[in-house]
Amino acid sequence: MKLVLILATSVMLALSVTEAHSGTSVLFIGNSFTFGSRSSVRFYRADTVTDLNSEGIGGVPALFKSFVEQAGLDYDVFLETRGGSGIDFHLENKLGVIGRRGWDAVVMHGYSTLDRDKPRDPTKLIATSKQMADFLRTRNPTVKLYLMATWSRADQTYQAQGAWAGEPIEAMARDMRAAYDAAAGPSRSEAVIPVGEAWTRAMQSGVADPNPYDGIEPGKLNLWSYDHYHASAHGYYLEALVVFGTLTGRDPRSLGDLECSAFELGFARSDVKELQQVAYDQLASEGTVKPSPLVLPEPANPQRCVGAR
């Protein structure tokens, strides 16, 4: 009996130590805009994050994980995603998965046109964001919730059948931000992550081309994938930078133009520098981050990205 008590105590102590040293848990709830559809980001470094659906996804969560590791921050990153879905899908089908534990932070977004059946209508987003927030707080009352406002779709703007047809490319992103701002209050979110506005800033500053249908201007990036709907690897990279800055308060430029994920994805250093600057400018305009110098610790894995150093 004495031996059993000793063993039980040892197990409890081991579990408490593990819990004490585990990183901040962050869960990404989303769709193809989170898992990196139509790009090399989709399965990028999937072994560094936990896909709760066991589909082998890396995506934007894996980029975020890479950034925080390089910045010397301890985050345990999880994701629960389903293509073509809004928050309503996760409420109806995935609460058993999402509710397995209490999360320290959650990043989530809805359908890319706000409502598949009623494009531009924020009603469902506002209602479902609050419902999901209420559920998440039953597992951890202090969870930090972040809503991610997504980007303007070129196919919804430049094509006659698009819900934003005939409007400037920035209009959709502007409407998305307004909708997520409206959802942030009832859901008591920490912040709205301004991904769509960062995309707009990239176009307006000349870093990215605003219209993929008329060709990509030399020297500019295409943030969309070949369907002019989802993101390219550069578009998802910008998304991840904005998420990184919002959740950590770190200047995205502090990662440097030799940042490992960009090297592994084959980006030019000049493109990395420009995308980091765009992310910083957007976040700084909202008071989310302050300028900070490039300060990176020694890499946890010295063999990783050795070619970039």
The per-residue pLDDT for 5 is 35
pLDDT in tens, 195-220: 999 999 999 999 999 999 999 999 99
Residue 230 in tokens: 């989802």
Calculate the CA 264 to chain-centre distance.
Answer: 19
Residue 218 in tokens: 């030399």
Pick out the chain residues at pLDDT < 50: 1-21
What span, in angstroms and rounded, lies between the C-alpha atoms of 48 and 213? 36
Q: In what order do the strands lie in the sheet with 24-30?
A: 50-51, 75-81, 24-30, 105-108, 144-149, 191-194
With 0.85 as the threshold, say if the pTM is over it.
yes
What span, in angstroms and rounded, lies between the C-alpha atoms of 15 and 2? 20
pLDDT in tens, 256-302: 999 999 999 999 999 999 999 999 999 999 999 999 876 665 555 66
* Cβ within 8 Å of residue 133, ≥6 positions away: 145, 186, 187, 188, 189
What span, in angstroms and rounded, lies between the C-alpha atoms of 267 and 285? 26
In the Cβ-directed half-sphere of 231, how many Cα atoms lie within 13 Å? Answer: 27
Q: Which CATH architecture has domain 23-290?
A: 3-Layer(aba) Sandwich (3.40)
- If DSSP codes are grouped into helix, strand and coil, which group holds residue 106? strand
The per-residue pLDDT for 6 is 35
Domain boundaries, given as residue ranges, for the chain:
23-290
* Cβ within 8 Å of residue 54, ≥6 positions away: none
Length of the chain, please? Answer: 309
Residue 213 in tokens: 């249908």
What span, in angstroms and rounded, lies between the C-alpha atoms of 145 and 103? 10
